[in-house]
Amino acid sequence: MGRKRQRTQPEQPAESNGPHAGTWEIQTGTVELVPDDLTPGAWTVMVNGVPSSHVDPARPGDLDFEYMRWMAAVLRTHVPAHLDPHKLRVLHLGGGACSMARWLAHEWPEARQVVVELDARLVDLVRGWFNLPRAPLLRIRAGEARAVTESLTESTRDVIIRDVFAGAVTPPSLTTVEFTRAVDRVLDPAGIYLLNVGDDPQLNGVRQEIAGLKAVFEHVAAVADPAMFKGRRRGNVVLAASHRPLPESGTAEAATMTRSLLVDPVPAQYKDQRWTATFAATVQPRRDPASSS
């Protein structure tokens, strides 16, 4: 808020000139590139007026959005414990300007990543604006997240990150038990599924998502700031699901993650398997609509 926004005409070939402030038409609406007044050289990508990504080309290891930093804390614990960092295979459902993909490439340079983004025009613009890692280390694929996931080969991804929004909500088709089973089929048995869930203070959506994850995965955990868990505001909750154990309260792994979350600019709490089981105990998961045929 409080940032000046200079606009240029959408038809200008921004993709050939690198990043500069302006607004462009895309297939799903508009995208605006806004300079970050606090970090010279950094940019906020606004899709239909909503902050979608923050990119600092000079610092790929920095994440401006708190929920992405919370995801990073979970990955820093799970990947060394259960996966081979030198052979990491990552699928991003929803990519925006690939902030999380850039962080993963910085953290684990040998990781091979695919970013699925619905809007092909946005993909073209992002490729031109920012110096993204090249294929095969990073491929950006235009497509619908569920259709792409269901088309992939079994056990071919170690990390799957869902960060898909239409406005302020995730499309319902990406929140059902059936979709979660499709994710599980593509995920390696030791892999991890991370979800960015936006919800209101009642957290009914978070409960329903947890219930859906528990119908498929043995272990489910959550990360958010205390105000979210106490139902005081609307915001983001990060959920993690895996067939491998996630840190349990009282363990050294949980203590390490808790410390990293508490020193974050937006301090967060980690809730383990026992907490999520209690939190969603009385909720039914969302399922695909029954076929009328």
What is the average pLDDT across 153-164?
Answer: 98
Compute how many other C-beta atoms are within 10 angstroms of the C-beta atom of residue 123: 21
- C-alpha 221/C-alpha 254 separation (Å) is 11
What is the average pLDDT across 7-11?
Answer: 38
Split at pLDDT 50, 70, 90, the class of 17 is low
Q: Is the pLDDT of residue 93 over 60?
A: yes
Q: How does pLDDT run across 129-141, given as a tens digit for each residue?
A: 998 888 899 999 9
What residue ranges of the chain are covered by domains with CATH 3.40.50.150?
66-279
Q: Is the pLDDT of residue 244 over 90?
A: yes
From the list 146, 89, 139, 97, the residue with the least C-alpha distance to 114 is: 139
Higher pLDDT, 108 or 10: 108
Split at pLDDT 50, 70, 90, the class of 292 is very low
172: DSSP letter: G
pLDDT at position 59: 93
CATH number corresponding to 66-279: 3.40.50.150
Helix (H) or strand (E) holding 30: strand 29-35
Q: Give percent of the chain with pLDDT exceeding 70.
A: 93
pLDDT at position 168: 79
Q: Is the pLDDT of residue 7 over 50?
A: no
Q: Look at residue 114 and give its three-state secondary structure.
A: strand
At 48, give phi and psi (nearest 5°): 55, 40
Q: Look at residue 99 and give its three-state secondary structure.
A: helix
What is the average pLDDT across 140-158?
Answer: 97
Return the minimum-mean-pLDDT range out of 16-30, 142-156, 220-234, 255-269: 16-30
Q: How does pLDDT run across 19-30, given as a tens digit for each residue?
A: 999 999 999 999
Q: How does pLDDT run across 94-126, given as a tens digit for each residue?
A: 988 999 999 999 999 999 999 999 999 998 899
- C-alpha 213/C-alpha 156 separation (Å) is 20
Split at pLDDT 50, 70, 90, the class of 290 is confident
Strands 50-55, 43-47: pairing is antiparallel
Kindly report whether the peptide bond that precedes residue 136 is cis, defined as omega within 30 degrees of 0: yes
In the predicted model, what is the mean pLDDT of the chain? 91
